[in-house]
């Protein structure tokens, strides 16, 4: 099936979703929200799929939520924009999901990678949560999934500073599982092919049980994150932060 913002390929028991908006470094917009959710639902319903690989076109994973698509959202619209349904559906896929991360994995892009079971980075990848510099904070599961993966204080450091970290530090901090030289897609496909040889019944059961224990607490907290994230779209700082980015200038935050 043809999508506007992603490529979706299923072959040899492996489904591949490729984020495909290279002109904006694969930034996640509303069209992508719908395209991804549809592809993920079709994957979940396809019993022939035994593993999923998510990557980005043209050398970047994703540079975050699409700021141009978000700048003027009201809190109500922000609550609809938020990618929770898509990322939760990815996390809930019964089969293993691997993110092949090259170039930038920022903000919502990194939150997408966090919803996957594994993250393979290219040595030149750059990751982070720059939302604070736009007057918002990660609102698509990031405040909950990141501490689970790398610990609360490191997660706070990344989210409070908005700093980008290189792939070596991402490996050291546990943000990624493996580094490869060059394109991480072949390594991700190899890992997926290995999973595809295992018993789908046992593998799905193991994933279900392990996720149940790990995410129960996080899922209970997501509605609070959603409320706080959407509410921030009523602030002047959010409008200023995003407008400043689009106008290629430094933001002047007033705390309002």
Buried-state track 16-41, b at ≥16 Cβ within 10 A, e below 16: bbbbbbeebbbbbbeebbebbbebbe
Residue 91 annotated among the catalytic residues of the structure: no
Shortest distance in whole angstroms from residue 104 CB to ligand COA: 5
Nearest-CB residue for ligand COA = 64
**Shortest Å distance, C-beta 207 to ligand COA:** 29
Of 14 and 25, the one with the shorter C-beta distance to ligand COA is 25
Residue among 24, 88, 163, 211 that touches ligand COA (CB under 6 A):
24
What count of Cα atoms within 13 Å lies in the side-chain half-sphere of residue 241?
A: 22
Span from 34-42, 104-112, 141-149, 225-233 in contact with ligand COA (CB under 6 A): 104-112
- Shortest distance (Å) from residue 106 CB to ligand COA: 4
Nearest to 92 by CA among 250, 1, 216, 3: 216
Q: Which stretch binds ligand COA (CB under 6 A): 21-29, 116-124, 198-206, 207-215?
A: 21-29
| Helix H or strand E encompassing 78 | helix 75-81
Query: Is there binding between residue 25 and ligand COA (CB under 6 A)?
Result: yes
Among 56, 96, 107, 251, which residue sits at the site for ligand COA (rule: CB under 6 A)?
107
Whether the CB-CB separation of 27 and 33 falls below 8 Å is answered with no
For 231, residues 6+ apart whose C-beta sits below 8 A from its C-beta are 75
- Between helix 84-91 and helix 200-231 the angle, nearest 10°, is 160
Distance, in Å, from the CA atom of 93 to the CA atom of 52, rounded to the nearest integer, reads 9
Q: Which stretch binds ligand COA (CB under 6 A): 35-43, 126-134, 146-154, 194-202?
A: 126-134
Instruction: Write each residue from 48 to 87 as x if it is in contact with ligand COA (CB under 6 A), else as -, in one continuous string.
Output: ---------------xxxxxx-------------------
- Whether the CB-CB separation of 105 and 113 falls below 8 Å is answered with yes
Taking the least distance from each CB to ligand COA, the nearer of 25 and 215 is 25
Pick the closer one to ligand COA by CB: 68 or 76.
68
| Sign of the alpha-carbon torsion through 22, 23, 25, 26 | negative
Distance, CA of 81 to CA of 65 (rounded, Å): 9
Apex CA 184: angle with CA 11 and CA 211, to 5°? 75
Q: Check 91, 123, 131, 190 and give the catalytic one.
A: 131
| Interface with ligand COA (CB under 6 A), residue from 15, 106, 185, 192 | 106
**Site residues (CB under 6 A) for ligand COA?**
24-25, 27, 63-68, 104, 106-108, 130-131, 134
The catalytic residue positions are 111, 131
């Amino acid at each position: 099936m043809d999508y506007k913002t992603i490529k979706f390929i299923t072959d040899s028991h492996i489904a591949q979703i490729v984020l495909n908006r290279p002109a904006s470094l694969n930034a996640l917009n509303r069209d992508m929200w719908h395209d991804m959710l549809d592809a993920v639902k079709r994957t979940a319903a396809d019993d022939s799929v035994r593993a999923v690989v998510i990557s980005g076109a043209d050398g970047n994973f994703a540079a975050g939520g699409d700021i141009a698509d978000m700048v003027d959202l009201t809190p109500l619209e922000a609550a609809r924009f938020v990618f929770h349904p898509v990322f939760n559906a990815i996390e809930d896929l019964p089969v293993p999901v691997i993110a092949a991360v090259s170039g930038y994995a920022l903000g919502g892009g990194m939150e997408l990678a966090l919803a996957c079971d594994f993250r393979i980075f290219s040595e030149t990848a750059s990751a982070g949560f720059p939302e604070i510099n736009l007057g918002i904070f990660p609102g698509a599961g990031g405040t909950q999934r990141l501490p689970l993966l790398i610990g609360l204080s490191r997660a706070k450091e990344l989210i409070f500073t908005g700093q980008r970290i290189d792939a070596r530090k991402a490996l050291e901090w546990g943000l990624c599982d493996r580094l490869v030289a060059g394109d991480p897609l072949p390594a991700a496909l190899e890992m997926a092919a290995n999973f595809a040889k295992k018993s789908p019944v046992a593998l799905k059961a193991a994933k279900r049980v392990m996720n149940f224990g790990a995410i129960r607490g996080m899922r209970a907290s997501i509605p609070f994150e959603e409320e706080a994230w959407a509410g921030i779209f009523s602030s002047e700082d959010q409008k200023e932060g995003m407008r400043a980015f689009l106008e290629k200038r430094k933001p002047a935050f007033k705390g309002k």
